[in-house]
Chains A and B, each alone.
Chain A
Amino acid sequence: MKFLNHLTFGQYIPAESPVHTLDPRAKILSVLVLLTGIFLVRHPLAFIPWGLLLAGLTALSRLPFSMVLRSAKPVLILVIFTSLIHIFFTDGRPLIDLRIVVVTREGVTMAVYMGLRLLFLVLFASFLTLTTKPMELSDGLERLFSPLVPLGFPAHELAMMMTIALRFIPTLLDETDRILKAQLARGASFDRGGIWKRLKAFLPVLIPLFVIVFARAEDLATAMESRNYRGGEGRTRMNPLRWTGADTAALGGILLFVALLFLADRRFLS
């Protein structure tokens, strides 16, 4: 049995859909536009079109809606925490007055509002990772940042680091698992005692792990060098990214959607 196999990473879900085949650059830019939109649009009713858009995109991507919703689970605590802070610490007309804590009408509105905002942020961002391969994502980021390369921005290096990190996460999880078991076999316990004791119990896991990581890094660097790696210079790709009409249409559609929502929002608020 493995201790660490409940962790899933790079949660990409393969499927044949128009969303999956879009250029990663189009998807990254669209998500950026959407995230900006969520922050700019302030009318509470705006959550209806956001929700409809997410539902529409999910249908188009052929992913189950529940799966997209589930991807927000890890940040749910953060969302609830933020909402609670807003409920209790916003000034305004009191709704419930318990002397020590005062819940205001504005506070409740703010809480619902900020919670939903955060939730949509996470949902749209994870929709990107659900429908885009990690390698495509790092390729897309590299190409998007390539105009900054003459200014000294290490676009290729960052993308390569991201790829290697993704490549080695499963390997290192296996390694950690092995060390944990080896220490357990020698009578170590990781689930007894106070926090301080437990942290101390992890030291014999962390130290061998670090040693292994450094040895691996050295080997990997040698192997990459022997495979003629010289950084981004002169490098070609087996699957070069191709921007098609569909990508322009998708990005254009999202831009139009956010722009209209923004204009409507300004009209309603004024």
Chain B
Amino acid sequence: MLPKRVCELRDVTYVYPGEAAGDSPPVRPALDRVSLSIREGEWVALLGNNGSGKSTLAKHLNALLLPTQGDCFVYGMSTRRSEDIFSIRSSVAMVFQNPENQIVGTVVEEDAAFGPENQGIPPLEIRQRVDAALDAVGLLEKRKKPVYTLSGGEKQRLAVAGALAMDTPCLVLDEATAMLDPQGRADLLAVLSALHEKGKTIISITHRLEEITPCDRAIVLHSGRVAWDGGIADLFLRSSSFRTWGLDIPPLVSLWADLRRRDGMEMPPLPSLNEMAEALCP
């Protein structure tokens, strides 16, 4: 049996309101006839430069935005049906870029509980979910602390915990690593890997190519269109197109690609530092 479809976009075009009408010349839509589907259990990296439409696409998966044209389905439910919005948001949780602007509670555990409280979960189960979510991001010891005493990285992890506590099968992270230091980023990626192992569908939006090696699949958006959709290893082979897509080529990737092009150089399938060192100096 084929894995279930988590979400499916069919010819989705989105134009931000106020831009469609008006006397200014017609602007480019934020999403331009995008079609794609994401299967259960996948870890998808959604890449693209600023203004490529990544965040706009992410907001469609949570019914925060509705397509101007085309249709968006989440677990088979159309985001256009307002009766299904509650179920859609209980299936797809989102983490946004700026943690400061998405934390509602004044105390760590109260914020983590905000989602499940809205879902109408019984108090005891909320307590369990909150403790498990805070434990997963390493904030369990700080659960009684006021939010303003947390560091930037801790706030970002709290935002992730808030989404985890909603216990959704799918998690969307919109540049959630942007405000983290290298250690915080590595910690968050470890949390995501563990969740992926347990079968959660994860969609991470990023423009940092270093972070996508653990993902299963990459989708590159460019000017509101899907420019590439395929495996991670194949994407790295296409590194010559990165400049047109507005993506930076990390030094490791360009070294990997250069070495690979030479004859007789056995390179690992993915540009990872350890495996490359192994291949070069056996």
Contacts and interface: CB of A to CB of B under 8 A. Distances in A.
A62 B101 CA distance: 36
A129 B197 CA distance: 46
Given A222-B96, A237-B123, A239-B123, A134 B89 contact: no
A236 B107 contact: no
B48 interface: no
Interface in A160-186: 163-164, 166-167, 170-171
Contact of B120 (A134, A166, A167, A235): A235
A240 interface: yes
B96 A228 contact: no
B115 A228 contact: yes
A219 B101 contact: yes
A167 B126 CA distance: 21
Nearest to A160: B104
B114 interface: yes
Nearest to A240: B123
A167 B101 contact: no
Contacts of B103: 167
Q: By DSSP majority rule, is chain A's interface helix, strand, loop, or mixed? A: helix
B130 interface: yes
Nearest to A221: B101
A235 B126 CA distance: 12
B98 interface: yes
Contacts, number: 95
Contacts of A226: 62, 64, 89, 93-94, 96
A70 interface: no
Contacts of A228: 86, 89-90, 115, 118-119, 166
B263 to A, nearest CB: 51
Contacts of B90: 228
A234 B114 contact: no
Interface string B56-83: 0001001010000000000000000000
Given A219-B101, A226-B64, A226-B89, A238 B120 contact: no
Interface in B119-153: 119-123, 126-127, 130, 146-148
A44 to B, nearest CB: 42
Candidate in B98, B101, B166 with the most chain A CB atoms within 10 angstroms: B101
Contact of A166 (B86, B93, B106, B113): B106
B106 A167 contact: yes
Interface string A102-145: 00000000000000000000000000000001110000000000
B117 A230 contact: no
Contact of A225 (B64, B98, B100, B130): B64
Candidate in A135, A229, A230, A236 with the most chain B CB atoms within 10 angstroms: A236
5 contacts: A171-B148, A227-B93, A228-B115, A238-B113, A238-B126
Given A219-B101, A223-B101, A236-B122, 15 more contacts: A167-B104, A167-B147, A220-B101, A223-B102, A226-B96, A227-B89, A227-B104, A227-B115, A228-B119, A234-B118, A235-B117, A236-B120, A238-B113, A238-B123, A240-B123
